[in-house]
C-alpha cells in the first residue's frame, strides 16, 4: 500500500517485511547460510495489522477529505455571492435580459455542482464509516482472543462507538442540510431570474400574467421545496449506515 510521506500516518514495521532464511540453506552445497528464500507460512497477524492500517488510513483520509470538501463548498458559495453581487451592480435597463440570462445560467450550474458536492460528501462519510467498522472488527478479534490471558485488554481496546456509528452525529446532518439548502436556493434563484425573462411575449408569460406578481414567488418556493425533497431522498438512500 503506497504512503504519502507528506501525510500521516507513516509506514511502520511489519513481520512480513522481514527476510526469512531457510535453516536448511547451510547444508545445501553452493548456498550460503544467509540465502534468502520465499516464505511459505501465512501470518494471520500480519494481514490483520495491514487491514487495520489500511482501514485507519482510509478513515483518516476520508475525514480530512470531508472537511476539505466542506471548506471548498463554503468558499465557492462566497465566490458565487460575490459574483452575483457584481452582476447586480452592473445592472442597466438595456442589458437586463442579458444579465438575467447570465444569472440564470450561473445559478443553474451552481445548483448542479452543489448537488454533486453534496453526493460526494455523503460518499466520503460512507468511506469513513466503513473504515471505522473495519477497525472495530479487527479490535473485536484481538479482544476475544486475548481476553482470557489479558483481562485488561478489553479496557485498552474498548469500542469508541458502542452506542452508534459516528456517521449519525449532528454535525454531519447540519453540514448536509446546509449544502442541501444552499443548492435548493440556487435552483430557486435560477427560476426567479428565468421568470424575469418572461416579459417578452410567450405562452408561459401569458399564463402567469393574470396571477400577478405573487406567481413568481410561488414558483420559486415550489422549486426550492422540490429541490430540498430531492436532496432528502438522496440522503435517505445514500446516508452512511
What is the per-residue pLDDT across 7-64, written as a single tens digit (0 to 9) for each? 555 555 555 555 555 444 444 455 444 444 445 566 778 888 888 888 888 888 888 8
How long is the chain?
A: 241
Distance CA 35, CA 202 (A): 87
pLDDT greater at residue 233 or residue 167? 233
User: For the whole model, what pTM was predicted?
Assistant: 0.69
Identify the pLDDT of residue 205. 44
pLDDT at 142 over 70: yes
Give the tens place of pLDDT for each residue, 108-117.
999 999 999 9
Average pLDDT of the chain, as a whole number: 75
Is the pLDDT score of 211 beyond 80?
Answer: no
Q: How confident is the model at residue 199 (pLDDT cuts 50, 70, 90)?
A: low
Question: Taking residues 172-177, what's their average pLDDT?
Answer: 86
- Within 10 angstroms of residue 56's Cβ, the number of other Cβ atoms is 16
More confident residue, 91 or 74: 74
Say if CB 15 and CB 46 are below 8 A apart.
yes
The number of C-alpha atoms within 13 Å of 76 and in the hemisphere containing its C-beta is 19
- pLDDT-derived band at 162, boundaries 50, 70, 90: low
Give the SS3 label for residue 135: helix
> Is the model's pLDDT at 99 over the cut of 70?
yes
The pLDDT score that the predictor gives to residue 121 is 92
pLDDT over 70 for what percent of the chain? 66
pLDDT band at 165 (very low <50, low <70, confident <90, very high): low
CA 44/CA 47 separation, integer angstroms: 5
**Closest Cα partner for 116 from 56, 183, 173?**
183
Average pLDDT, stretch 152-157? 76
pLDDT at 27: 44
Q: Hey, is 36 helix, strand or coil?
A: strand
Position 135 scores a pLDDT of: 87
pLDDT score of 8: 55
Helix, strand or coil, per DSSP, at residue 58: helix
Q: Higher-confidence residue: 107 or 25?
A: 107
C-alpha cell at 224: 426550492
- Look at residue 233 in the predicted model and tell me its pLDDT: 93
Instruction: Please check whether residue 175 is in contact with residue 70, taking contact to mean a CB–CB distance below 8 angstroms.
Output: yes
160 vs 83, residue with greater confidence: 83
Band (pLDDT 50/70/90 cuts) for residue 3 is low
Cell numbers for 111 = 445548483
* pLDDT at site 197: 59
Distance CA 72, CA 125 (A): 16
Answer yes or no: are the C-beta atoms of 33 and 25 closer than 8 Å.
Answer: yes
Amino acid at each position: 500500500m503506497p504512503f504519502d510521506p507528506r501525510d500521516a500516518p507513516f509506514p511502520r514495521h511489519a513481520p512480513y517485511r522481514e527476510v526469512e532464511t531457510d535453516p536448511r540453506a547451510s547444508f545445501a552445497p553452493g548456498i550460503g547460510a544467509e540465502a534468502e528464500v520465499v516464505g511459505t507460512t501465512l501470518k494471520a497477524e500480519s494481514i490483520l495489522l495491514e487491514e487495520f492500517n489500511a482501514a485507519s488510513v482510509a478513515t483518516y483520509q476520508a475525514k480530512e477529505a470531508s472537511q476539505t470538501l466542506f471548506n471548498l463548498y463554503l468558499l465557492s458559495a462566497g465566490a458565487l455571492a460575490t459574483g452575483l453581487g457584481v452582476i447586480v451592480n452592473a445592472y442597466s435597463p438595456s442589458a437586463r435580459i442579458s444579465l438575467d440570462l447570465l444569472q440564470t445560467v450561473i445559478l443553474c450550474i451552481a445548483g448542479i455542482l452543489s448537488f454533486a458536492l453534496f453526493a460526494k460528501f455523503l460518499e466520503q462519510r460512507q468511506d469513513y464509516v466503513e473504515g471505522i467498522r473495519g477497525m472495530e472488527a479487527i479490535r473485536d478479534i484481538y479482544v476475544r482472543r486475548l481476553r482470557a490471558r489479558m483481562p485488561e485488554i478489553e479496557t485498552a481496546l474498548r469500542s469508541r462507538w458502542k452506542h452508534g456509528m459516528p456517521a449519525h452525529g449532528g454535525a454531519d446532518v447540519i453540514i448536509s442540510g446546509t449544502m442541501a439548502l444552499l443548492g435548493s436556493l440556487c435552483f430557486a434563484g435560477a427560476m426567479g431570474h428565468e421568470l424575469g425573462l418572461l416579459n417578452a411575449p410567450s405562452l408561459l408569460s401569458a399564463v402567469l400574467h393574470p396571477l400577478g406578481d405573487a406567481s413568481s414567488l410561488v414558483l420559486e418556493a415550489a422549486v426550492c421545496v422540490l429541490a430540498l425533497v430531492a436532496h432528502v431522498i438522496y440522503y435517505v438512500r445514500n446516508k452512511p449506515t
